[in-house]
Chain A
């Protein structure tokens, strides 16, 4: 991948991947930092990326794993996020119309949240979600069904969304 190709890939995908990771982890700043770090690693390992059929899925998964890894380390060591991962710019607040949705997503089990985000937000077909997550299509369909029901109940009762946090495996 040449620099110009990478720049085009980054420009076209960054916001979309950030939004998807934000929906999965519920923290826009964290999603932004982890996504830009994932893109930096994509450039550092661009020869590996050339072999990936879906480079955007590679970046999304890397960003998500970075977010989970950072959350776990912070939880364990009670320390601040890696300064190396922090951006130099500013991030605008999320669209307020989506705040309730993301807050509700945070209350779902991780597997259901991931399936809903990849299918309905990233717009991936079920078979591709199954391939990315590594489970059978039937499992994804079940997670989508249960997640949809649970999410509907959560959105109907926003008073129940106070407190809580990100659910990580």
Chain B
């Protein structure tokens, strides 16, 4: 066994040798050369800011069509409209569609929305993950009953995590969708609910008359429930429409409910499920959430880099921008589509991330979430190297429907370091653009560096103009 010895002596000798005249060889550069290099860094940054200002002058001086190039701004939108959009969150029921009693809309409130297998486990009776049935996309939304109380009535305690679940899925062919529809029916008839000591499924499904779609509703009861004097009454609605299916599950505690056959909550909501599930037609006035592959996300960037990879993308498989000013980021809200592009030169790292959401409300919520994270964390957690990230939020006018800039830098020992980045977040309609400038070229000089904000804003304006494709007003 090798003999162990205290390494402190060796470390100390190493440290002492660093004070010797020539511990690691000659200095590669003289002090004057290092200062010249430092002056170059300063000039380069100044030039970048000046370039941004020049771009601003050009943007004012020429018409918008000239700024965005030769492309017809409507061409992308037209191309989008020619395609049937893929299944998306927007194909799920909205709160305003939900009913409990006939005519009483807005009966449920959304609890959460989940994409693909993140919705597994939320629906009852599914014996395997929905993904095993082969959908290309699926979405799940959970809702809670939102009873209306009269004056003087005391709201009852909600005993269940959610009372309504809708799952929608899209398949490659109508045949694959029908196979999944049949399998889901078998799973409901053979339903197993964890913890249920008695479960009864009415074997004969009620057929729902829906134009262009097949629909059935199964009823079931099971115990126990959180109320010791009652069990659950539930309904399972299944819908097949072309290559898409929907499952709507509603449950309520209280076996004394006795809905008329076509007046149960699920029966009332099935027509809305079918209407939402119908793929948007090309004549729809709703902008498609799909981002064209050739969206000009890199517009305004140099075509090459002297010392780096230059532009990369647009692509969907680049790493998304993470927002974690407090050290831990919030989950990425469900979105419809995302396209990214990056640019790399020496100490000049840029990223643009365009994300589309189901509607402007969802985009606004995502935009607000990002902003609030930075407002809540002006000082991030101290890093392993002792530096502290600092953030300053500045609202920006004149770009998109709303925008804000983030100036971020690290402080060490009470002094700003050259490490930092400048971000711009722009929302227009149902889309949100995040722009990051990092490295020496992107680091702001303090909390009020208007030059850095102007630079990133001007460089982004062309791309922000093209986000009109997701504006309710169009381009």
Residues of A within 8 A of B (CB): 3, 6-7, 10-11, 14-16, 18-20, 22-23, 28, 31-33, 36-37, 39-46, 48-49, 51-54, 57-58, 61-62, 64-65, 77, 79, 82-85, 87-95, 97-98, 101, 104, 110-111, 114, 116-117, 120-123, 131-135, 148, 151-153, 155-157, 169
Task: Tell me if B323 is interfacial: C-beta within 8 Å of chain A.
Answer: no
Complex contact B28–A155 (CB within 8 A): no
User: Which residues on B sit within 8 Å (CB–CB) of A64?
Assistant: 385
Q: A51-B414, A134-B385, A155-B5 are in contact. Are A10 and B31 (CB under 8 A)?
A: yes
A15 touching B27, Cβ below 8 Å? yes
Interface of A is mostly: helix
Binding site for A on B (CB under 8 A): 2-8, 10-15, 17-19, 22-29, 31-35, 37-39, 41-42, 307-309, 344, 346-347, 382-388, 412-419, 440
Neighbour of B414 across the interface among A22, A52, A120, A123, CB < 8 A = A52
25 A-B pairs (CB sep. < 8 Å): A3-B35, A11-B27, A32-B25, A36-B27, A36-B37, A39-B34, A40-B38, A43-B37, A43-B39, A44-B39, A53-B413, A62-B418, A77-B344, A90-B26, A90-B28, A101-B14, A117-B11, A133-B385, A133-B386, A134-B384, A148-B7, A152-B5, A152-B7, A156-B2, A156-B4
Q: Taking the nearest CB of chain B, how far is it from the CB of A78, in angstroms?
A: 10
Which single residue of chain B is at the shortest CB-CB distance from A20? B18
Contact B4 A89 (CB under 8 A): no
Q: Are B28 and A88 in contact (CB under 8 A)?
A: yes
A44 interface neighbour in B17, B25, B42, Cβ under 8 Å: B42
Q: Which of B4, B22, B24, B413 contacts A54 (CB 8 A)?
A: B413
Chain B proximity of A167: nearest CB distance (Å): 13
A116 to B315, CA, bound (A): 44
With contacts A36-B34, A42-B38, A83-B307 known, what are 19 further pairs, Cβ within 8 A?
A15-B24, A36-B28, A36-B37, A39-B38, A43-B38, A45-B416, A46-B38, A52-B412, A52-B413, A61-B417, A79-B309, A88-B33, A89-B27, A89-B29, A104-B7, A120-B15, A152-B5, A153-B4, A156-B3
Selected contact of B15 from candidates A90, A121, A169, CB within 8 Å: A121
Please indicate the chain A residues that have their CB under 8 angstroms from the CB of B384 in the complex: 110-111, 114, 133-135, 169
Q: Which residues of B contact A104 (CB under 8 A)?
A: 7
CB pair A84 B347 closer than 8 Å: yes
B29, A88: Cβ atoms under 8 Å?
yes
Whether A90 contacts B34 by the Cβ 8 Å rule is: no
Cα distance, A110 to B18, chains bound together (Å): 21
Kindly provide the distance from the CB of B276 to the nearest chain A CB, expressed in whole angstroms. Answer: 42
Among candidates A19, A41, A45, residue contacting B23 with C-beta atoms closer than 8 Å:
A19
**Interfacial chain A residues near B38, Cβ < 8 Å:** 39-44, 46
Closest to A87 in B: B28
A40-B38, A44-B42 given as contacts; is B11 within 8 A of A92 (CB)? no
